[in-house]
Amino acid sequence: MANDSPSSPATIRVEVAYAQPDRQLIIPVDVSEGATLEQAIIQARIQEQFPEIALQTAKIGVFGKLSKPSAIARAGDRIEIYRPLLADPKEVRKKRAADGKRMRRGGGDLEPENR
């Protein structure tokens, strides 16, 4: 008989993704049904390629939506490990306002009007 016996757990395929500005990696991995996101990341061994990943403090998500490491992985999930932001968007906006720059629609800076 094949591995269809009740004693062998079913497996699902997920992907574990991590990116740096110049490099990204997506690792397909088969995990036991009921595995957590954290277990899938560990099983993918992505930290061998990116030792800077601190799994204890890293934010993770599935398809761009933040999730807890203890969440259960589902077949087809892309589990993403997020890097910390280099600049806080709120601080950038505050600095821009303090510098007197105005924003136009579309996100670009406008020069102050000379009248």
H-helix or E-strand containing 95?
helix 89-98
Asked, for residue 91, whether it belongs to a domain, the answer is no
Asked, for residue 103, whether it belongs to a domain, the answer is no
Asked, for residue 33, whether it belongs to a domain, the answer is yes
pLDDT for res 92: 75
Asked, for residue 57, whether it belongs to a domain, the answer is yes
pLDDT for res 99: 79
- CA triple 32-38-44, angle to 5 deg: 65
- For residue 29, how many C-alpha atoms fall within 13 Å in the half-sphere facing its CB? 25
The token pair that represents 96 in the structure block: 């821009």
Q: Give the mean model confidence (pLDDT) for residues 44-67.
A: 92
Q: How many domains does the chain have?
A: 1
Asked, for residue 76, whether it belongs to a domain, the answer is yes
Count the residues in the chain.
115
Name the residue range of residue 23's domain. 11-82
Asked, for residue 63, whether it belongs to a domain, the answer is yes
pLDDT for res 2: 47
Asked, for residue 30, whether it belongs to a domain, the answer is yes
CATH, residue 60? 3.10.20.30
* pLDDT tens for each residue of 58-79: 999 999 999 999 999 999 999 9
* pLDDT tens for each residue of 78-108: 999 998 766 677 777 777 787 776 555 555 5
**Averaged confidence pLDDT in the chain:** 83
Task: Pick the more confident residue, 6 or 62.
Answer: 62
Task: Pick the more confident residue, 84 or 32.
Answer: 32
DSSP label of 53: -
Asked, for residue 94, whether it belongs to a domain, the answer is no
